[in-house]
Structure 1
Amino acid sequence: MSILTILLNILLPPLAVLMKHGLGGKFIINLLLTILGWLPGVIHAFLVNNE
């Protein structure tokens, strides 16, 4: 995982997921989690982008 991906996972989790997986289910889930709370979005972004 690159430094850019790590920074985006922390600062803008939906953008990090969008860049790696495109506009799909993982992005929508991450967007909803980020809206509900920043920390769940960050955790999901790290889990999804670490695959």
Structure 2
Amino acid sequence: MPGISLNALVTGKGDPLVILHGLFGSARNWNAIARGLADIREVHALDLRNHGS
């Protein structure tokens, strides 16, 4: 949507995988999992609006 920006952690190579945190969290909740998947997937951990950075 125009005018909407989201913070995201993007890491890795391979087929993309989008992961979202729960109600009380941020993309940082996925750091360890994203690092573990980075060899086989391009991980996009998004911050929901008004969460995280």
TM-score by length of 1: 0.29
| Larger strand proportion of the pair | 2
RCO comparison, higher one (Cα < 8 Å, 6+):
2
| Bigger radius of gyration among the two | 2
